[in-house]
Amino acid sequence: MREIKFRVYNKEKKKFVYYTTEDLYFMVVDDKIFSGLYNKDIFEKEQQYTGLSDKQGKEIYEGDIIQYDESGYTNKEKKKVEFRGSSFMCGCQCLNEMQLHLLWVVVGNIHANPELLGVD
């Protein structure tokens, strides 16, 4: 069973805040851990952990940009990880069907590195 984790990007500090479903419980009950977490002026939309890691062991989240990384392979196309319907997708392929731990590496994310996808 995969661990349910999230992150949100703090636009002011230019870094992610990571939290789990257990943290969410305390945020709601105690209302003190991440006060203002959903302030749209400061934070971007939350992104969920896919439950998968790249070939270097880095956790993959929605909004990450991944690239095929195998020696001798010349197509260096980068793809954004998205949640569509009920699956995590990368382009038109389901992440669970990709051999992420063997062939793919996280090279950035849509907040810090939009230029990797040709977006400014």
pLDDT tens digits, 61-87: 999 999 987 766 666 778 899 998 888
DSSP labels, 2-36: ---EEEEEETTTTEEEEEEHHHHHHHHHHS-SSTT
pTM above 0.75, yes or no: yes
What tens digit of pLDDT does each residue of 3-39 get? 789 998 988 889 998 888 777 655 554 444 455 556 6
The structural domains of the chain, ordered by start, are 5-117 (2.30.30.290)
In this structure, are residues 109 and 67 in contact, taking their beta carbons and an 8 Å threshold?
no
Backbone angles phi, psi at 16, to 5 degrees: -85, 150
Q: Is the pLDDT of residue 90 over 90?
A: no
| Per-residue model confidence (pLDDT) at position 81 | 93
Specify the DSSP class assigned to residue 30: H
